[in-house]
Structure 1
Amino acid sequence: MMSNLNSGTILGHPKGLFLLFGTELWERFSYYAMRAILVLYLTDKTINGGLGWSTQDALNLYGIYTGLVYITPLIGGWIADNFLGQRRSIIIGGILMALGQFTLALPNSMVDPHAVTAFYLGLGLLIVGNGMFKPNISTMVGDLYEEGDNRRDGAFTIFYMGINLGSLLAGIIAGTASATYGWKAGFLTAGIGMLLSLVVQLFFAERLLGDIGKVPAAKRAAEMNKSGKKEPLTKEERDRMKVIMIMGTFVVIFWAGFEQAGGLMNIFSQEYTNRMIGSFEVPAAWFQSLNPFFVITLAPVIASIWVKLGPKEPSSPIKFALGLFFLAAGFLCMIGAVLQQGGDITVKTSMMWLVGAYFFHTLGELCLSPIGLSMVTKLAPLRLASLMMGVWFGFNAVANYVAGIIGAQVGEAGPMAIFSGIAVAATIAGVLLILCSNQLIRWMHGAEGHVEEETADAQPVEA
């Protein structure tokens, strides 16, 4: 791995980690500020300037948009690995995303014939920019550490807290701006957040990252290969990539449920939840900040639990299974909210059901998401580092598309069928993952420090 050993450390980690932390914080602020208000903006029929779409159309578009946001990193990772390098890729991606957010903030209304055109242009810029940015910033975190460095999982936990601090600020700031000044103000705050991300990266990267991210991974791998030829993958590398692909299928199930937060659960909080605290009505977008709030407060607790378990710390497959079980528990809370309505959609349910759901979903996320990012940097071959990170986000793309389809069925199936169906599916998936965990650990070939049951054959095989 490329490293910059002269920049010093903070809390035992390279200072470059905290630069990437800040860069990702403001980029995620930008993304989640927009996500918190997207469906509400699309469905708003009032003078606030919404587009007046139906709930089904809005949730369908939400699924397509979030799906594309997570599939384009596959392309962006390949471009960075082979041509641009990670540093240039994230700058280009950041510029495109800032332009996208400001395009969404252009003044228009649902009677303006150019409103929808500007809207789609803004989404397109965000999708392409995110593809260049997302896989490469995550891969650079792994590049700060040499192979076998046991600080890597902790580094991704810190990095993940940056993601969620940005998300926490996004829901509150964008939600308040939208409620006070209209939806366009929310998009404007998202654009400003993206500019801050670019400023942080441009001003401090050279000093704190050194050469990390400058040279495309494929070129670095070729320089390390004495023969100068492109070598086929070894059996160990192929086994490790199989683990990434299999774990990714379970990730689809998790995120397809989890991403109801920005769609169906967002609508539920807006229309069917009693949001009054005295005379103050809590903006629906504020509920989007519950998840990052819980991440920031619970992440140190979860991390300390893993440390205290020591040799008994569960493997990544078992942690993923726990994440699926927590997801199911969260949807049991949403089932409770629907039961409180008693079939009467005019009844407003308690906010505590949503709080409980986000709490359990966050526990699940902490058992799955940062663990997955770290796992990919451990298992992916060097020359495919950003590409495989893009593949990992590609599973999120499938999940987000599926989430939109599921949420859009609320008019026909009803929320009870959707919430209970996700809970059952997550539970079954968690059990299956536990059953196949031993084989997955063998295929990791000691990447997580577990003792291998077989000696790996490291002879090259045809890729």
Structure 2
Amino acid sequence: MSHNSSGTLLGHPKGLFLLFGTELWERFSYYAMRAILVLYLTDKTINGGLGWTTEEALNLYGIYTGLVYFTPLIGGWIADNILGQRRSIIIGGVLMAIGQFTLALPHSVVDPHAVTAFYIGLAFLIVGNGLFKPNISTMVGDLYPEGDNRRDGAFTIFYMGINIGSLLAGVIAGTASAVYGWKAGFLCAGVGMLMSLLIQVFFAQRYLGDIGTVPAAVRDAEKNASGKKEPLTKIERDRLKVILVMCTFVIVFWAGFEQAGGLMNIYSQEYTNRMIGDFEVPAAWFQSLNPFFIIICAPILAALWVRMGKSEPNSPVKFALAMFSLALGFACMIGAALEQNGDVTVKTSMMWLVGAYFFHTIGELCLSPIGLSMVTKLAPLRLASLMMGAWFGANAIANYIAGVVGASIGEAGPLAIFSGIAITAVIAGVLLLLFSNKLISWMHGAEGAVDNDDNQPKPQTANA
């Protein structure tokens, strides 16, 4: 398969920036909806919310976000074997746009069809996301030949696109919802999805060439002399084991991190003093703290990894650092809960939330872009989108757990939940440190260790 030849920008193929823009607007769409979903469900005012209880809203949030991260497993298989990545992205984008505009349809609080339309909109988003999400990330990896040391840097740039979209989403959808009602926020999300689609439709052929047009299983079969699928080699099996083991720890991280859209969203709305002088900060704005910190910290962390040179930590150690950062973030939330001291009428300082989002962001930067890059390095070609789907499948389990944990706040109380997540994260981090050497040996040289099968050392690249 020939790569595109449209030239480079900042040392990377121009196709990277096309995918950057496509993902930026798709993530704007997703996070715009996520920022207001729970608030819309629990709103009992004239703004047109559905008036659900907090427990009902957080349970639905957990199921929805879980399905959003589960369907890429199916979408990845469909792309690898039937549609190819490009067509999967277009079809998925159209379905998601339909979903967002369905959520934006006006209705009255007493409209019996309001909840039905709401569920239909979510269904379109879930199915469309399954086709879109695993394939856009895999195509970033496809821009670079095997062993290209620009790949990890490319995922950092790509990750910046995700978070610029997320940053804009919280502010724009949050403000639109506060001024014009919840439906305006969903409308903003729909417009964002259309922007993503237009970029892909009009510019993909020019900047990506034939990348993503042929299903990976077909390309893999063409490479083999027999023209058939070959069984997995020992090295491929070992590398798949690494992906699956790391997925287990990813579940722990995201189950804590995803309290941001659920429990911490409710906490910012109900229990946080959001006044700055005479101005009350909209609760949805706190959803933009995470991407704001990523845009500030990602270049710093990337430069730090490069500066460390040979002493740069490997992926399992970076994952462990992510766990410890998650624990520090929840230590801030423990501080907020202690300030409340069991009195729900007490409004806590917003600085606790700011601190929590900061440490969670550092953790995310040590885990998420590194994980995406690691999957593209370790997964066999014919399983590339499927394994990216499996990576997001771990997020699915984590998001469902996050919803269950968040919904139990009424019984357990915030202090117990925040403490439990912090302790679990520390235990997971310690386990990763203990098993890091074994995981590196299973990678067979992908992280700079000497491959025992061919004795060829491969240079470690910056993973930030």
TM class by shorter chain equals over 0.9
In the alignment, the residues of structure 2 paired with residue 84 and residue 63 of structure 1 have an alpha-carbon distance, to the nearest angstrom, of: 29
In the alignment, the residues of structure 1 paired with residue 3 and residue 403 of structure 2 have an alpha-carbon distance, to the nearest angstrom, of: 40
Q: Does 1:50 align with 2:53?
A: no
In the alignment, the residues of structure 2 paired with residue 228 and residue 127 of structure 1 have an alpha-carbon distance, to the nearest angstrom, of: 35
1:228 maps to what in 2? 227
Q: In the alignment, is the contact (CA less than 8 A) between 1:67 and 1:401 conserved in 2?
A: yes
In the alignment, the residues of structure 1 paired with residue 164 and residue 339 of structure 2 have an alpha-carbon distance, to the nearest angstrom, of: 32
Secondary structure, aligned partner of 1:45? coil
Q: Does 1:78 align with 2:77?
A: yes
Distance 1:2 1:443, change over 3 A: farther
Secondary structure, aligned partner of 1:265? helix
1:136-189 CA deviation, whole Å, 9 max, x = no partner?
A: 000000000000000000000000000000000000000000000000000000
Q: In the alignment, is the contact (CA less than 8 A) between 1:51 and 1:109 conserved in 2?
A: no
Q: In the alignment, is the contact (CA less than 8 A) between 1:70 and 1:396 conserved in 2?
A: yes
Count of aligned pairs: 455
In the alignment, the residues of structure 1 paired with residue 323 and residue 165 of structure 2 have an alpha-carbon distance, to the nearest angstrom, of: 25
Q: Which amino acid aligns with 2:254?
A: W
2:340 maps to what in 1? 341
2:435 maps to what in 1? 436
Q: In the alignment, is the contact (CA less than 8 A) between 1:50 and 1:109 conserved in 2?
A: no
1:326-354 CA deviation, whole Å, 9 max, x = no partner?
A: 00000000000111112211110001000
Secondary structure, aligned partner of 1:436? helix
2:324 maps to what in 1? 325
1:451 positional shift: 2.5
In the alignment, the residues of structure 1 paired with residue 173 and residue 179 of structure 2 have an alpha-carbon distance, to the nearest angstrom, of: 10
In the alignment, the residues of structure 1 paired with residue 42 and residue 2 of structure 2 have an alpha-carbon distance, to the nearest angstrom, of: 47
1:203 positional shift: 1.1
Secondary structure, aligned partner of 1:228? coil
TM-score (norm 2): 0.97
1:88-143 CA deviation, whole Å, 9 max, x = no partner?
A: 00000000000000000001133100000000000000000000000000000000
1:149 maps to what in 2? 148
1:460 maps to what in 2? none
1:68 maps to what in 2? 67
1:171 maps to what in 2? 170
2:107 maps to what in 1? 108
1:93 maps to what in 2? 92
1:8 maps to what in 2? 7
Q: Does 1:196 align with 2:195?
A: yes
In the alignment, the residues of structure 1 paired with residue 118 and residue 51 of structure 2 have an alpha-carbon distance, to the nearest angstrom, of: 13
Alignment of structure 1 residues 319-398 onto 2, 5 Å:
319-398=318-397
In the alignment, the residues of structure 2 paired with residue 253 and residue 456 of structure 1 have an alpha-carbon distance, to the nearest angstrom, of: 35
Q: In the alignment, is the contact (CA less than 8 A) between 1:294 and 1:362 conserved in 2?
A: yes
1:274 maps to what in 2? 273
Q: Which amino acid aligns with 1:434?
A: L
In the alignment, the residues of structure 2 paired with residue 84 and residue 15 of structure 1 have an alpha-carbon distance, to the nearest angstrom, of: 24
1:448 positional shift: 1.9
Distance 1:262 1:2, change over 3 A: farther
1:253-279 CA deviation, whole Å, 9 max, x = no partner?
A: 000000000000000000000000010
Alignment of structure 1 residues 199-214 onto 2, 5 Å:
199-214=198-213
Q: In the alignment, is the contact (CA less than 8 A) between 1:50 and 1:183 conserved in 2?
A: yes
2:459 maps to what in 1? none
1:455 positional shift: 2.6
1:125 maps to what in 2? 124
1:307-341 CA deviation, whole Å, 9 max, x = no partner?
A: 00111111100000000000000000000011111
Q: What are the ranges of 5 or more consecutive residues in structure 2 without an aligned counterpart?
A: 456-464
Secondary structure, aligned partner of 2:130? helix
Q: Which amino acid aligns with 2:187?
A: L
In the alignment, the residues of structure 2 paired with residue 290 and residue 230 of structure 1 have an alpha-carbon distance, to the nearest angstrom, of: 46
2:453 maps to what in 1? 455
TM-score (norm 1): 0.97
In the alignment, the residues of structure 2 paired with residue 74 and residue 27 of structure 1 have an alpha-carbon distance, to the nearest angstrom, of: 19
1:2 positional shift: 4.8
Secondary structure, aligned partner of 1:231? coil
1:456 positional shift: 6.3
Secondary structure, aligned partner of 2:146? coil
